[in-house]
Structure 1
Amino acid sequence: MAQLSADNHGLRLVVRYTVLGLIALIFVFPLVFMLMSSLKPDAQLLSDTRSLRAFLPVGDISLDNYFDAFRRAPVGLFIFNSVIVTGVTVVLTLFICSAAAFAFVFVDWRGRDLVLTLILATLIVPFETIAIPLLLIASKLPWLGFDGLTYGWLNSYQVQIIPFVADGLTIFLFVQYFKDLPGELIEAARVEGASWWQVYRRVVIPLAGPVLATAAILKFLVMYNQYLWPLMVVQEERYRPVMVGLQYFFQLNRAWGEIMAYLSLITVPVLAFYLFLQRAFIASIASTGVKG
Structure 2
Amino acid sequence: MSAKSSPAVARRVPVYALRVVLALFFAFPVVFMLVSSLKPDEQIFGDLGSPRAFLPVGSLSLENYAAVFDRVPAIRFLLNSLGISAITIVLGILVNSLAAFALSRMRWPGRKLLLTVIIATLIVPFETFALPLVWWVNELPWLEVNGFSVTLTEGWLDTYRVQVLPFVANAFSIFLFHQYFQSIPKELDEAALIDGAGWFGIYRRIVLPLSGPAIATVAILTFLPAWNSYLWPLMVVQDEELRPVMVGIQYFFQLNVSWGQVMAYASMITVPVLALFLAFQRSFINSIASSGVKG
TM-score between the two structures when normalised by the length of structure 1: 0.90
Partner of 1:87: 86
Alignment map for 1:54-203 (pairs within 5 Å): 54-147=53-146, 148-149=150-151, 150-203=153-206
Pick one of 222, 225, 236 that aligns with 2:225.
Answer: 222
Secondary structure, aligned partner of 1:143: strand
Amino acid at match of 1:170: S
The alignment status of 1:205 with 2:208, answered yes or no, reads: yes
Partner of 1:273: 276
> Deviations along 1:241-284, whole A, 9 cap, x unmatched?
11111000111101100000000111122123223334776999
Q: Distance in 1 between matches of 2:35 and 2:124?
A: 40
Q: Distance in 2 between matches of 1:146 and 1:43?
A: 53
Alignment map for 1:45-60 (pairs within 5 Å): 45-60=44-59
Q: Distance in 2 between matches of 1:190 and 1:272?
A: 41
Moved more, 202-211 or 254-263: 202-211
> Deviations along 1:62-83, whole A, 9 cap, x unmatched?
1111111111101111111111
Cα RMSD of the aligned pairs, angstroms, is 2.1
Partner of 1:244: 247
Q: Distance in 2 between matches of 1:146 and 1:236?
A: 20
Amino acid at match of 2:17: T
User: How far apart are 1:209 and its partner, in Å?
Assistant: 1.9
Partner of 2:290: none
Q: Taking structure 1 as reference, are residues 153 and 215 closer, same or farther at Cα in structure 2, changes over 3 Å only?
A: same
User: How far apart are 1:159 and its partner, in Å?
Assistant: 0.1
Structure 1, unpaired ranges of 5+: 285-292
Structure 2, unpaired ranges of 5+: 288-295
Moved over 6 A (4+): 279-284
The alignment status of 1:257 with 2:260, answered yes or no, reads: yes
Q: Distance in 1 between matches of 2:31 and 2:145?
A: 44
User: How far apart are 1:142 and its partner, in Å?
Assistant: 2.0
Q: Distance in 1 between matches of 2:8 and 2:172?
A: 41
Amino acid at match of 1:75: A
Q: Taking structure 1 as reference, are residues 146 and 269 closer, same or farther at Cα in structure 2, changes over 3 Å only?
A: farther
Secondary structure, aligned partner of 2:53: helix
User: How far apart are 1:121 and its partner, in Å?
Assistant: 2.5
Q: Distance in 2 between matches of 1:98 and 1:104?
A: 10
Secondary structure, aligned partner of 1:83: helix
Moved more, 251-260 or 126-135: 126-135
Asked whether the 8 Å contact 1:83–1:269 carries over to 2, the reply is no
Asked whether the 8 Å contact 1:122–1:168 carries over to 2, the reply is yes
The alignment status of 1:27 with 2:16, answered yes or no, reads: no
Q: Taking structure 1 as reference, are residues 252 and 81 closer, same or farther at Cα in structure 2, changes over 3 Å only?
A: same
> Deviations along 1:120-165, whole A, 9 cap, x unmatched?
2322222222212211121122222444433221111100000000
Moved more, 275-284 or 216-225: 275-284
User: How far apart are 1:15 and its partner, in Å?
Assistant: 3.8
Asked whether the 8 Å contact 2:214–2:284 carries over to 1, the reply is no
> Deviations along 1:140-193, whole A, 9 cap, x unmatched?
222224444332211111000000000212111111222222111221121222
Q: Distance in 2 between matches of 1:111 and 1:9?
A: 52
Asked whether the 8 Å contact 2:177–2:214 carries over to 1, the reply is yes
Q: Taking structure 1 as reference, are residues 145 and 17 closer, same or farther at Cα in structure 2, changes over 3 Å only?
A: farther
Q: Distance in 2 between matches of 1:50 and 1:99?
A: 53
Q: Distance in 2 between matches of 1:28 and 1:282?
A: 20
